[in-house]
Amino acid sequence: MRKLLILILTLIMALSAVACGEESVQSGSSDSAGGDDTVHTVTIYVSSGEMSAKNDDAYVKSKIEEKFYQDRGIKINLDVQVYSESDFNDVMSNKMASNSWDAAVGYIGQAGIDEIVISQNVCMELSDMIPLYDNLYSLVQDELTATTTIDGSVWGIPSLEFSNQYGVLVRTDYMARVGYTVEAGHSDDLGPIDAKPNGKLKTLVTIADFEDMMYRMKAQIPEITAPLSGYPWDVESTLTVGPFSNSGYTFKVVESTGDSGAATSVVPGQIAESYYETICLEYKWSHDGLWEEECYTGQKDKKIQSFVNGKTAIFTVDPEITKLISVARKCKAANPNATFTILEPLYGVDENGNKTDKRGYMAKQKASSCLVINKRSSKNEVILEYLDWLASEKANYDLATYGVENEHWISSGEGKYVYPANKKDRYETNPPYSGMYGLLKWQEYSYKLYDHYTAEEYGWIDTVRNAPTFKNVCENMLFIGEPTDMALNHQTAENDFFQDCLVKAWNGVVDPSTTFIAQAQRYRTTAAEYLTWLTNQYNLYTISRK
Amino acid sequence: MVKSKSARVANVLNIAVISLLTLTFIIPVILILSASVSTANSFAQYGYTLIPQEIDFFAYQYVLFSNSLFVRALGNSIFVTVVGTLMMVANCALYAFALVQKDFVGKKLCSIIAIFTMLFAGGTIPYYLVVTGLGLENSLWSIILPGSISAWNILLMRNFFNNIPPSLTEAAGLDGASHVQVLVKVVLPTSFPVIATVILFTAVGFWNNWFGPLLFIDKNHREIAPIQSILREVVQDASAIVGQNTDLPTEAIKNATVVVATLPIVIVYPVLQKYFINGVILGSVKE
Amino acid sequence: MKLKSIIKTIVIMTIALAILTMTGCINVHTTFEKDGSGECTVVIQKQEGVDKSAIEKNLEKICSGVATQSQRERLEIKSLEEKGDSFVAVIKFKPIADTKGLGSFSFETGTSFGTQLVQRNLFSQLSKGVIPTRNLVNYNNSTFKISEKVAVNPKTTSGEEILADDFKSNTNAYYTEENYFFTFVICGIENVTSLTFEFPGEILVYSDFNATIDGNKLTVLPQKVTAQETGIKNGEPFIQVGEYSAFIGYVVFKPSFDFTPYIIIGAIVLIVGALITLGFTTGAFKKFFKSKTWGKMVKNKVLYLFVLPGLIIFALFNYAPMVGIIVAFKNYTVDGGIFGSEWANNFGFEHFITLFTHPGSEFGMILRNTVLMAILKFVVCFPAAIILALMFNALKNGFFKKAVQTISYLPYFVSWVVVSNIVYLLLTSNGGIINQVIVAFGGEKIRFYSEPQYWWGIITITSLWKSVGWGTIVYLAAITAINPDLYEAASIDGATPWRQLWTVTLPGMMPVIGIQLILNAGNLIKDDFDQIFSLVGESNYELREVTEVFSSLVYRNLQGGPKGFSSSTAISLVQSIISLGLVVGADVIVRKTDNPGLW
């Protein structure tokens, strides 16, 4: 017994020596001494749902720092740490409390960096500093409004993503089975819903056609459980946004304007009168089995599974085009006879069923994420210098985002790259570099796709990039700083509205035509102060940007 | 001993019910195991099944080998679990022993101090500030030290110690012995059941802890991260990879992660089990 | 007669009109405390047609506008009285740095000021005539962009030469913890003819721009500047360029020595000293050191060493963080930290009052759900673990016994996330197993994820499945510790195994069962958020009436980042207090049954 104890103790001491030894090898994030050779360590926390550490990150980091030193004469140590979006909240709260961060990157939106960091009054105000960096300023100045509050203070540096990102993936073989096609010029009458088309063809043009097509699919194709798969916010940013000119429940909407052009009522999308048609349509689709079960609560993986198994025909879950293409490929692998396409935005219809010219997909806000700097950080100049360096030459940004040219990627044309031949298999399953040192997605500045798409798929990407878009009027407005008592009533009003109207409609259980008006009125009463505040904010933003 | 008929019937019933329960316990586990070796395609088509349709060990290969830190993380977890558990047992046994001595002035105060910690907590941010203030950031001690004592375990042990008959002290001829001798020679040997319980509870707690590493071990020091941290990242990464990689069997990877994370504990347990079954130890001391 | 009175009225009205067209005269005197809060005395000269209630209304408007801009109440009107030919209003305000709507202020220590680049550059910019107007949104929603260049230069009260650019370096001598920096940019508040700031300490440096010093007071006069105003009037937004009064400047002051902490320490020392002397004179100490208690303590001094490691760890990692509980009584911001954040309204109970009374927090429903769920789990799982332990115990030793015991622990290790996948398989209305069975028997599909009433059962059963095997461990250990002689004696007396169960086994387990009961009592108010979060997701609106528990509220509060820290701490504190009450209550009950209690 005693011997056993002694053995265990020795083992522990050995292990602890090892563990302690490991730590001391790593240098902390303090700067090394020395005059002009000071190494500036910059600690940046990044919130990302898509990025994760990869094997060659350290190698690329050293290359970046080397080139940065050659070009700008500053020694930088980029301490970039990537966390998932939910972890970021926990970690960032602690880092802010202990003041151990220099910069942070995250998305703007609900529970985004604007709510978590900017509203806490810990960010450095940048309106004086950014113009000092020419390259950076000329690159981002158009979108700076996204991080600027009413008083003209600039709190962060925006990203520049494409506004054309979304599409709708459809199984054209299923479409053909009910007589629909995306080719122009067909207009046969297909007969009753459950009648087989027998060679007749109709072009899919309007949202009325789309609904008709779904009814036919449900009736005639037994493999399909429900033709449409997508979350409400996805459906509202692709299918309904154009025809109803309504950006959906997640965006703020200007309901009415006064004589001078100022808004007299700005409300969250879900209670706007213009949303009524959309929610009624969604109810109808869900109630009649056209929209999948658990459209609001189901897990993304399961929705992808359903599509891959052929149980759904139209897929708009997280409808960014490259993701849609990967889902299409998965489906093709499981169903070799399946064929696909990406739809052009649908046209709307008026009361008489005639086609209107309202169409488009939701425009993604270019500045969907931003970088903020700690107001107590002494590294602000270094950070801005680094961003300026990225903005000065595309080669720098490409190095920081895609890796070392010719080692990690080889350019294969405008906006495309391939992997070096001998590493292709390895890199396809496990990409070498995460892209984390690029910090912000400046897609409009430099964007490269991995060149493994077929011509058909490139055509789809073009469809999306050229599709007409619908821009939300409240774009680039930071609605932060909501007073707390208003915030509580606002939250209560939202919870109640969701519970009693929206969710029940999306599940096809309660017809919103019976609940919407009363519930929206209740919302307006409970959150009246919030709505006034929101309208004022909108007007002040508009006028300060004239 | 002749067993009565009713006793035999009761026995059979007992075995039957237990078997049924065991089935409900084990079926989900089998589902997980089978999902961890399924290919992405077959999972997409059939979902969770008892017997995998197409077997592929890719998920295990991905979890174990594509991340070079795996073995190191395993070592870290073992270190944390062993050291932490030993410290826990030592601290709690000492504390509980003191609480049992009738001549310990301040006994009630000490037990209230312990119990209070079970009920009130300050929140993550103050806790984070204290631990980093002590300089424990990016060190495994930030996980070990705070978890090296628990009021729950102290109470458990105290209860057991209370029930040790004083006759045992006399039997060991320890009249007039010091506290240390009583502790080591009498109390500890007879408390193997409760010590084994505490070891098991504590070891599992340390092994499964991922929140501590999330707060205190940053991404540059991943070589000291324990296994749960690494595995959690693997799952998040696997779910996040989209766009290029179409074939990654995310569900299989998630399930393989679960298997790898819990296997060690599940293996260690039966070793300790004999301490729960043997009443022999108690009896032998009596002699 | 009538004519005279008519003429009189006309004359008075004319004079009144003349007076009305005169601009009003308002003098403001502000006294600061060290934390930047303070009191403001506003002297408003009387004007015809402007009576007390009109002034009161205006002040209320200002207060509510400031509250909206600053996100919470900042100003409090203490009094409004007539005094001679003017009205005097006394207004209390919370720390001015976080008060928005009257101007752009900062009020912080030198070290804090010096760590911020923007603040360090402020003096230099002002001296070059660049006036930063960030945070300059007034209570009436107006923002100002000052285009006029006015140079504001620093001056020391001791006559030293000082350059504004000196402040740009973070090694400037003024950036110490003892010095305080106060900066102000006010624009658009018309009719204020003078603004006086009084500081709790001597002024070291001040901005020599329309300003005079008198001891620890700085008096600033308004400056007419050209500025562009963007605002909302009668609901209509507008832009206009015009002349506005502005107050611009800064002060560096050193608070006079604050004796209060020393006074308190001195008082404590005196009292302790008095007690000690008392002890010596009455021989109380001698008595104590001779007493039995001291004897016991010395004899058992090694026991104090035994508890020392535990006490140290408790102190460091449990009690030190407990200090953080005060944020439940404050409005935590990252800037203020735990100690610097302001106290919440209603003597700090704002968050608790919101929790109990605000309809949105649905306290009643949350309480009901949490407690009912905990009771259900307790009533089902607590006896189940004991029963299962007894069942295991009744098995003959061998491979089967070992195997089933090990397997019964497996569910405990499976995380809730994985369990939720399997539960989904069973319950989903999209082809789940249970629904398939129901449909096969001719019934209608049940949408489990939309019907709250099933979830009482679902949560209880999943809890049972996951924890029952693990729960048997403690009881099995207790059973093992029962003296085997007791069983022998009982069977010699002719007791059947069943009888032995009741007379030997269960009584032997009683002490452990008692402790487990008490410890679990405290959990009646706690919930397993991990379970709920994994099974139903974070925002399942339809199941809310069953699944919304305390932790759901805490989680939602924390989702918005640090600003929810105060309210979530308050909620956890309420839970802890109720838990304490339950534990004490259970302890009393268990003691009454002659079993040992908790302490």
User: Three-state secondary structure along C165-232?
Assistant: HHHHCCCCCCCCCCCEEEEEEEECCCCEEEEEEECCEEEEEEECCCEEEECCEEEECCEEEEEEEEEE
Tokens found for residue A13: 């001491």
Q: Are residues C173 and C195 in the same domain?
A: yes
B70 and B111 inside one domain: yes
Q: In what order do the strands lie in the sheet with C38-45?
A: C75-83, C86-93, C38-45, C26-32, C192-198, C217-220, C211-214
Structure tokens that stand for C312 in this block: 């140290």
Out of C121, C134, C239, name the one closest to residue A151 (CB).
C134
- Non-local (6+) Cβ contacts of A141 within 8 A are A130
B6 within a domain of the structure (yes/no): no
Residue A485 has pLDDT above 90, yes or no: no
Residue C364 lies in a domain: no
Contact B229, B219 (CB under 8 A): no
Per-residue pLDDT reduced to its tens digit, C2-19? 666 665 555 444 444 444
What is the residue type of C5? Answer: S
pLDDT tens for each residue of C230-271: 888 887 888 899 999 999 999 999 998 878 888 999 999 999
Q: Does domain A39-161+365-446 have CATH number 3.40.190.10?
A: yes
Instruction: Give the count of beta carbons closer than 10 Å to the beta carbon of residue A213.
Output: 23
pLDDT, mean of residues A104-125: 92
The total domain count for chain C is 3
The answer to whether residue C334 scores a pLDDT higher than 80 is yes
Residues B214 and B80 in one domain: yes
Q: Is residue C356 part of a domain?
A: no
Which of C96, C103, C100, C93 minimizes the C-alpha distance to C69?
Answer: C100
Helix axes B227-240, B58-65, angle to 10 degrees: 120
Rounded Cα–Cα distance for residues A51 and B243 (Å):
12
Residue C149 tokens read as 């260049």
Q: How far is B24 from chain C (nearest CA, A)?
A: 8
Q: Which residue of A has its CA nearest to C144?
A: A151
**Which residue of A lies nearest to B132 if distances are taken between CA atoms?**
A98
| pTM of the predicted model as reported, rounded to 2 decimal places | 0.89
Query: B18 in a domain, yes or no?
Result: no
A199, amino acid identity:
G
Mean pLDDT of C119-132: 90
Picking from B125, B138, B219, the nearest residue to A82 by CB comes out as B219
Give the pLDDT confidence score for residue A21 in this predicted structure.
38
Residue C308 Ramachandran class (φ > 0 left, ψ -120 to 50 alpha, else beta): alpha
Q: Return d(Cα C30, Cα C43) in angstroms, integer.
A: 11
Do C185 and C229 share a domain, yes or no? yes
CA angle A322, A323, A325 (to 5 degrees): 65
d(CA A436, CA A441): 10
- CATH number, domain at C450? 1.10.3720.10
Mean pLDDT confidence for C111-115: 90
- Range list of H helices, C291-446: 292-299, 301-314, 320-322, 337-340, 350-357, 363-394, 399-413, 416-427, 433-440
Q: Give contacts of C389 with chain B, Cβ < 8 Å.
A: none
Domains identified in chain B, total number: 2
Q: Is residue C155 part of a domain?
A: yes
Q: Enter the ipTM.
A: 0.86
Is C60 part of a structural domain of the chain? yes
Query: Which regions of chain B are under pLDDT 70?
Result: 1-3, 66-67, 169-170, 172-175, 240-247, 272-287
Q: Are residues B107 and B90 in the same domain?
A: yes
Do residues C307 and C381 share a domain? no
- Per-residue confidence (pLDDT) for residue C16, from 0 to 100: 42
Segment A94-98 long-range contacts (CB within 8 Å, at least 24 positions apart) = A94/B124, A94/B125, A94/B128, A94/B129, A94/B215, A95/A45, A96/A120, A96/A122, A96/C334, A96/C562, A97/B125, A97/B128, A97/B129, A97/C334, A97/C337, A97/C338, A97/C562, A98/B128, A98/B129, A98/B132
pLDDT at B52: 80
Find the CATH number of the domain harbouring B181: 1.10.3720.10
The CA distance from A120 to A115, in Å, is 8
Residues in chain B within 8 Å Cβ distance of C478 = 193
Same-domain pairing of B34 and B170: no
Tell me the pLDDT of chain C averaged across its residues.
86
What is the distance in angstroms between the Cα of A255 and the nearest Cα belonging to chain B? 38
* CB atoms B244 and A450 under 8 Å: yes
| Chain B residue whose CA is closest to C482 | B279
Question: What is residue B248's predicted lDDT score, i.e. its pLDDT?
Answer: 73
The answer to the question of residue B198 being in a domain is yes
C positions 452-481 inside 8 Å of B (CB): 465, 469, 473-474, 476-478, 480-481
Residues C66 and C181 in one domain: yes
Q: Which residue of B has its CA nearest to C403?
A: B270
Give residue A148's pLDDT.
Answer: 93
Instruction: Examine the pLDDT at A366 and tell me if it is beyond 90.
Output: yes
Indicate if B185 and B263 belong to the same structural domain. yes
Which stretches of A403-502 are DSSP H helices? 424-429, 455-466, 484-497
Cβ separation of A293 and C134 shorter than 8 Å?
Answer: no
Residues of chain C neighbouring B130 (CB-CB closer than 8 A): 316-317, 320-321
- Boundaries of every domain in chain A: 39-161+365-446
Q: Which two tokens stand for residue A288?
A: 């009649």
| C251 and C286 fall within a common domain | no
Nearest to B175 by CA among B164, B189, B186: B186
Q: Which of A9, A10, A13, A15 to mutate to test the interface with B (most CBs of B within 10 A)?
A: A15
Interchain contact, A262 vs C141, CB within 8 Å? no
CA angle A254/A260/A266 to nearest 5° reads: 15
Indicate if the pLDDT at residue C472 is higher than 80.
yes
Which residues, 6+ apart, have CB-to-CB distance to C274 below 8 Å?
none
Chain C interface disruption, residue of B163, B167, B266, most C CBs within 10 A: B163
Give the model's confidence band at C175: pLDDT under 50 very low, under 70 low, under 90 confident, else very high: very high
Report in angstroms the alpha-carbon separations of C143 from A114, C135, C136, C187: 21, 9, 6, 9
| A-chain residues near C431 (CB < 8 A) | 225
Q: Cβ contact (<8 Å) for C310 and B283?
A: no
| Last residue in a domain, options C326, C343, C360 | C343
Is C352 domain-assigned?
no
C348 within domain boundaries: no
Q: Answer yes or no: do B199 and B230 share one domain.
A: yes
CB of B195 within 8 Å of a chain C CB? The answer is no
Distance between C508 CA and the closest CA of chain A, angstroms: 29
Please identify which residue in the block is written with the tokens 């996948």.
C421
Residues from chain A that touch B245, judged by Cβ atoms under 8 A, are: 326, 428-429, 431
- Pick the residue from chain A with its C-alpha nearest to B212: A91
- Looking at the complex, does the CB of residue C67 fall below 8 Å from at least one CB of chain A? yes
| Cross-chain CB nearest to B119 (options C324, C474, C576) | C576
C130 touches chain B (CB under 8 A): no
**Among the listed residues A81, A136, A66, A38, the one whose alpha carbon sits nearest the alpha carbon of residue A437:** A81
Amino acid letter, residue B115: I
Cβ–Cβ < 8 Å for C414, B258: yes
* Average pLDDT, integer, range A277-294: 93
Nearest of C160, C158, C161, C211 to residue C182 by alpha carbon: C211
Q: Specify whether B154 is located in the same domain as B209.
A: yes
Q: Domain check: are C338 and C420 in the same one?
A: no
Long-range contacts of A388-392 (CB under 8 A, 24+ apart): A388/A133, A388/A134, A388/A135, A388/A136, A389/A68, A389/A71, A389/A72, A389/A135, A390/A438, A390/A439, A390/A442, A391/A133, A391/A135, A391/A136, A391/A138, A391/A139, A391/A140, A391/A442, A391/A445, A392/A71, A392/A135
Query: Are B39 and B81 in the same domain?
Result: no
Q: Which of C307, C414, C415 sits opposite B95 (nearest CB)?
A: C307
Do C194 and C220 contact (CB within 8 A), yes or no? yes
| A208-243 pLDDT, tens digit each | 999 999 999 999 999 999 999 999 999 999 999 999
Nearest CB among C137, C359, C360 relative to A151 is that of C137
C250 & C284 share domain? no
Chain B residues within an 8 Å CB radius of C580: 119-120
Determine the residue type at A499.
Q
Cβ separation of B126 and C392 shorter than 8 Å?
no
Domain assignment present for C17: no
Candidates C306, C436, C501, C557: best to mutate against B (most CBs of B within 10 A) is C306
> What integer is the mean pLDDT of A423-441?
89
One domain, residues C243 and C275: no
Domain that holds residue C32: 23-255
pLDDT, tens digit, 9 for 90 and up, residues A444-459: 999 999 998 999 999 9
The residue out of C232, C255, C278 marking a domain boundary is C255
Please say if the pLDDT value at position A346 is more than 90: yes
How close does chain B come to A199, measured CA to CA in Å? 31
Question: Is the pLDDT reported for residue C136 higher than 90?
Answer: no
Of the three residues C201, C230, C255, the one that is the final residue of a domain is C255
Q: Answer whether A15 sits within 8 Å of B82, measured CB to CB.
A: yes
Same domain, C88 and C230: yes
Rounded to an integer, what distance in angstroms lies between the CA atom of residue B207 and that of residue B222?
17
Confidence of residue C335 (pLDDT cuts 50, 70, 90): confident
For chain C, list the contacting chains (3+ Cβ pairs, <8 Å): A, B
Q: Residue C360: closest CA among chain A residues belongs to which residue? A: A492
Domain span including residue B72:
59-286
Is residue B47 located within the same domain as residue B156? no
Size of interface A-B (CB pairs under 8 A): 114
Q: Do A540 and C141 touch (CB under 8 A)?
A: yes
CB contacts, 8 Å: C397 with chain B = 277
Chain A residue numbers with beta carbons less than 8 Å from the beta carbon of B284 are none
Residue B88: HSE in the Cβ half-sphere, 13 Å Cα cutoff: 33
Q: How far is B229 from B70, CA to CA, in rounded Å?
A: 10
Q: Tell whether C415 is within 8 A of chain A (Cβ).
A: no
Let me know whether C214 and C275 are in one domain: no
- Find residue C26's DSSP bridge partners: C44, C192
Q: Give all chains having 3 or more CB-to-CB distances under 8 Å with chain B.
A: A, C
Q: How far apart are CA B223 and CA B217, in angstroms?
A: 10
Asked whether the beta carbons of residue B126 and residue C324 sit closer than 8 angstroms, the reply is: yes
Q: Given this model, what pLDDT does residue B282 score?
A: 39
The answer to whether residue C8 is domain-embedded is no
Of the partner residues B29, B117, B129, the one whose CB lies closest to the CB of residue C314: B117
Task: Say which of A52, A55, A428 has its CB closest to residue B236.
Answer: A52
Instruction: Check pLDDT > 60 for residue C278.
Output: yes
Q: A–C: how many Cβ contacts below 8 A?
A: 147
**Between C455-480 and B250-277, two packed helices, what is the crossing angle to 10 degrees?**
30
Most confidently modeled range among A18-22, A477-481, C11-15, C313-317: C313-317
Mode of pairing for the β-strands spanning C330-331 and C211-214: unpaired
Does residue A152 sit at the C interface (CB-CB below 8 Å)? Answer: yes
How would you classify the pairing of strands C223-233 and A39-47?
Answer: unpaired
- pLDDT at residue A135 above 70? yes
Backbone phi, psi, residue A363, to 5° = -80, 130
Residues B125 and B203 in one domain: yes
* Greatest C-alpha distance within chain B: 76
Q: Which residues contact C466 (CB under 8 A, 6 or more apart)?
A: C411, C412, C414, C416, C419
Over residues C525-539, the mean pLDDT reads 83
- The reply to whether C211 and C310 lie within a common domain is no
Q: Does C168 touch chain A (CB under 8 A)?
A: no
How would you classify the pairing of strands A202-203 and A449-450? unpaired
Listed by number, the residues of chain B in 255-284 with a beta carbon closer than 8 Å to a beta carbon of chain C are 255, 258, 262, 265-266, 269-270, 273, 275-279, 282-283
Residue of C nearest to A122 (CA): C335
Are B169 and B213 in the same domain? yes
Instruction: Count Cβ atoms below 10 Å from residue A466 Cβ, excluding itself.
Output: 10
Tell me if C574 sits within 8 A of C328, measured CB to CB: no
Whether residue C469 sits in one domain with residue C574: yes
Mean pLDDT of C435-449: 87
Same domain, B66 and B166: yes
Judged by a CB distance cut-off of 8 A, whether residue C12 touches chain A is no
Name the minimum distance, in Å, from the CA of A37 to any CA of chain C.
20
